[in-house]
Structure formats: structure tokens, C-alpha cells
Amino acid sequence: MATGSIRVCLGLKAFIAAGPRRPASHSASPAHAPRIAPFLLAAFAWGLSPLPVPAIAAPASPDREVSIVFVGDVMVAERPGELITAGIDPFRAFAPLLDAHDLRIGNLECVVATGGDALAKPYTFRADPNVLPVLKRHFDGLSLANNHSGDFGKQAFAEQLDLMRSAGLPGFGGGRNATEAHAPLILERDGLRIALLGYVEFKPRSFEADATRPGVAWSGEDEQVIEDIVAARRDHHADIVIPYLHWGWEEEAQPSPRLRAFARRMIDAGADMVVGGHPHVTQGADVYKGKPIIYSLGNFLFNSFETEATTTGWVLSAQVGPEGVRSWRTHVARLDADGVPWPAGSVASPCGQAGATTVNLCKGSP
């Protein structure tokens, strides 16, 4: 396509003139070294021949851009599950926004299974497997790292892993053992490898995976999270690394000092953006070294909440390139009595640009 050739050509000029836009610490990764050679070969070919640049030139272009959308807690048992069984899609109002993105990510705040027994804890959520086609329709990956995925025991969690695999719906932050749970989900779009890591640090800790048993990834041992972030780039050849944390105190409007400090540590280790959830309310956003931290997205699909704060969530939209997050903004969702989200475009919420030192406010319909 002609426009594609022009983009590649401009990308080549920019690359040759300025080099890759990725910071030196990133480009030093051996994972990116092999991409440079075909790019230069393509430049050579461009100078000697009138033939179009071969497609192999594309992957390292700084013109590459991928859009990613994150939603908060998605609980598809109880009332949302009943709606799905009745043939009503609870995500329908946000479908246009979700579909406008290359990658659509959420936190699955329940277990999807038929087996297992409810644990002795205040709230336990188990969704019928009939929710999977609806989740698959709207999401490309779901975090399993939360305080409800183990509500019906290890067997039910393992059943969920099988069901999601059969449905072609990838999860992250959970697996058949600790190694799987801590491994990033790599989703590739437009030549960019996006690594998603999921962690929970809200008890019960019995949900955690160990060497031989299935479960979730725990973020209490910060060193392991830091190592996972480093390994995502070093071993899994990720261009972009985004940890999605299930953390914080419920219904607190501001992030704790612990969240603020740990988010910065993750960015120091190489995270391009930090996304959080669990408190059932939004908790503001920060910028650190030009990279966004959205502490809590709040609820997205979740019944039984009544206050304005707990029925208000953010949907996070981000544009990323090879060098990191270029721009981002949140969209406000208001949950109705069934826990179903509806866009509230007239309400301002955080947004920002790459390299900015402060968070702005944006509003408007998705």
C-alpha cells in the first residue's frame, strides 16, 4: 500500500538521522539487537533499487503504535452472570471504545468454573463458563491475580485455566505453578511485543501459586516483581512492560505510601506504565520519570455497590510506541444497579502525555 511505503520511508529517515527513540538502557537489551540489521539492509536496498522496501523493514520503525485499553474489576458471577445467561451483554455500552483499541485488558475478579467449594470468606464469586464467549468477544487478556480467583479452591482455579485455554482467552498473573503465574503474557501487535504482568497483594495468600500448585502471583515480595519486570525484557524480548497490580485498601480515595513507593520502583526497573485496581474506587494518577501510574481503575462490571465512589470506574486508554507510552487518558464509567458500566463523558478524569511532569484532566465521550 502506498501510504505504508511512505510511512516506512519516513521511518527510515528518522531512524538513520536520530537512531531508535528507545532509551539507551532499553536498546542495550540483546532482545532488540537483531531488529537493527534488517532495518539497515532495507535502507541499503532502498538506495540502490526503485523496488518498494520489503516488509521486513517494518518492525523497528518508531512509527509503530499500539493502542491498549485497561478496565478495572470485572465480576461476571451474580447479577452480571444472570444478564449474560439471559443473552444481555453487560459490556455493550463500552464495546465501541474497547473495539477501537488493538489490545483490550481487564481484571477477572472471580473464578469461572463449575467445580470446587466456596471457601470460608466474606464474599465468594464463581461464574458459569457461559460467560467465556462474552469475555472473549471483548478482551484479549485478563489478569487472574486478585483476591477472588481462588474463592472455590485450587481445583476450580485449575478448571478455569483449562476453560480459558479452550476459549482462546489468555490470562496472566495466574497459572499452574509459580513459574507460569509470574511469566508475562506477551501480546504482539504491529511489531511491538507488549508484556503484561499481574500481581495481587490482598489476602488470602493461600491463593498464591507455588512450585507445584496452581494459583496467582503475589506481589508482597517486591524483589520477585522487579525480577519479573527485568526478565520480561531480557528473556521474553518485550518492547513494552506493563504490570497490573491488585493492591491498596478498599474504598480509600488516595493510594497509600506503599503503593506510591512500589510503583516508582517498578518504573525504575523498566515498567513503562503501572496500572492498579482492587480498592473498588479510583485512586488518582501520578507521573514518574514521564511514565504514568494509575493507582486504581475501580470497578468496571460489578454489582452490589451503591455509593457514587464505588459505582464510578475508569477505563484507561494508552497509545504506546517502541519507546514507551506516548499518551494516555482515562474515561469515566458509571455502574448501574446491575453493576453494568455506562460511559459518563461529561466527568473529567486523569490524562497525560509522554514525558510530562504533571497529570492533566480530560473529559468527553469515548
Report, in Å, the least distance between residue 314 CB and Zn ion.
16
Q: Any long-range contacts for 26-31 (C-beta under 8 Å, 24+ apart)?
A: 26/233, 26/270, 26/323, 29/233, 29/234, 29/237, 30/234, 31/233, 31/234, 31/236, 31/237, 31/238
The answer to whether 310 contacts Zn ion (rule: CB under 5 A) is: no
Q: Which is nearer to Zn ion, 79 or 278 (CB)?
A: 278
Report, in Å, the least distance between residue 166 CB and Zn ion.
26
Report, in Å, the least distance between residue 244 CB and Zn ion.
12
Q: Which is nearer to Zn ion, 22 or 278 (CB)?
A: 278
Write out the H or E segment, with its range, that includes residue 75.
none
Q: Which is nearer to Zn ion, 143 or 146 (CB)?
A: 146
Q: Which three cell numbers stand for residue 185?
A: 503474557
In whole angstroms, give the CA distance from residue 257 to residue 255: 7
Show contacts with Zn ion in window 122-151 (CB under 5 A): 146-147
Q: Which is nearer to Zn ion, 156 or 267 (CB)?
A: 156
Q: Which three cell numbers stand for residue 350?
A: 486523569
Q: Which is nearer to Zn ion, 61 or 147 (CB)?
A: 147
Q: Which residue is nearest to Zn ion (CB)?
A: 278
Report, in Å, the least distance between residue 279 CB and Zn ion.
8
Give residue 80's Cα distance to chain centre.
22
Size of the residue set binding Zn ion (CB under 5 A): 3
In whole angstroms, give the CA distance from residue 29 to residue 239: 10
User: Could you tell me whether strands 285-288 and 291-294 are parallel, antiparallel, or unpaired per DSSP bridges?
Assistant: antiparallel
Q: Which is nearer to Zn ion, 203 or 289 (CB)?
A: 203
Amino acid at 334: R
Among 22, 278, 291, 331, binds Zn ion (CB under 5 A): 278
Report, in Å, the least distance between residue 188 CB and Zn ion.
29
Question: DSSP letter at 58?
Answer: S
Q: Which region, judged by CB under 5 A, interacts with Zn ion, from 129-137, 159-167, 275-283, 292-300?
A: 275-283
Report, in Å, the least distance between residue 107 CB and Zn ion.
8
Report, in Å, the least distance between residue 277 CB and Zn ion.
7
DSSP per-residue codes, 24-57: HHHHTSTTTHHHHHHHHHHHHHHHH-SSPPPGGG
Q: Which is nearer to Zn ion, 197 or 297 (CB)?
A: 297
> Of 88, 125, 152, 143, which Cα lies nearest the Cα of 303?
125
Binding site for Zn ion (CB under 5 A): 146-147, 278
